[in-house]
């Protein structure tokens, strides 16, 4: 099991935290009908409804519990509004682990940068 950072990763602008059931509506809003997500992430079903969003939250939670990955919701620090996703994968090699991230269309043009 991976330990959730305590305190959460927060720079005053964005917070990285595990996904929760309360994030399901935001996931649907961000992913459903997004042509770019459909184009580049063929494993993400379209239409993307409550069942798919809940399945993602459940999967993300299971990865935290089994220690295989650490999927983070990226949220606004002040409001907890979901901005995107960041996932850190664990591997057993000495190479740095790969990471993935996604942002909804409304944030693709902003200058949000992630420190790695």
Residue 37 lies in a domain: yes
10 Å Cβ neighbour count for 80? 14
Q: Please work out, in degrees rounded to the nearest 5, the angle formed at the alpha carbon of residue 92 by the alpha carbons of 87 and 95.
A: 75
pLDDT tens digits along 12-53: 999 999 999 999 999 999 899 988 888 888 888 999 999 999
pLDDT tens digits along 2-22: 888 889 999 999 999 999 999
pLDDT tens digits along 56-70: 999 999 999 998 889
Residue 22 lies in a domain: yes
Residue 69 lies in a domain: yes
Residue 94 lies in a domain: no
Helices then strands, counting H and E runs in the chain, come out as 3, 5
- CA quadruple 35, 73, 90, 94: dihedral sign: positive
CA atoms of 50 and 100, how far apart (whole Å): 22
Residue 104 lies in a domain: no
Does the pTM surpass 0.95? The reply is no
The enclosing domain of 51 has a CATH number of: 3.40.630.30
Give all strands (DSSP E) within 19-91, no chain letters.
69-76, 82-89
Residue 49 lies in a domain: yes
Residue 112 to residues 3, 48, 70: CA-CA distances in angstroms?
26, 25, 21
Residue 102 lies in a domain: no
Measure the CA dihedral 68/1/71/21, to 10°. Answer: 130
Q: What is the number of structural domains in the chain?
A: 1
**Domain of residue 28, residue span:** 9-89
């Amino acid at each position: 099991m991976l330990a959730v950072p305590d305190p959460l990763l927060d720079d005053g602008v964005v917070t990285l935290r595990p996904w929760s059931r309360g994030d399901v509506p935001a996931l649907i809003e961000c992913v459903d009908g997004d042509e770019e997500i459909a184009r580049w992430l063929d494993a993400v079903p379209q239409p993307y409804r409550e069942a798919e969003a809940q399945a993602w939250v459940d999967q993300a939670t299971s990865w935290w519990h089994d220690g295989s990955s650490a999927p983070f919701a990226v949220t606004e620090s002040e409001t907890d509004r979901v901005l995107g996703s960041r996932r850190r994968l664990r591997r057993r090699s000495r190479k740095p682990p790969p990471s993935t991230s996604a942002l909804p269309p409304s944030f693709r043009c902003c200058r949000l940068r992630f420190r790695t």
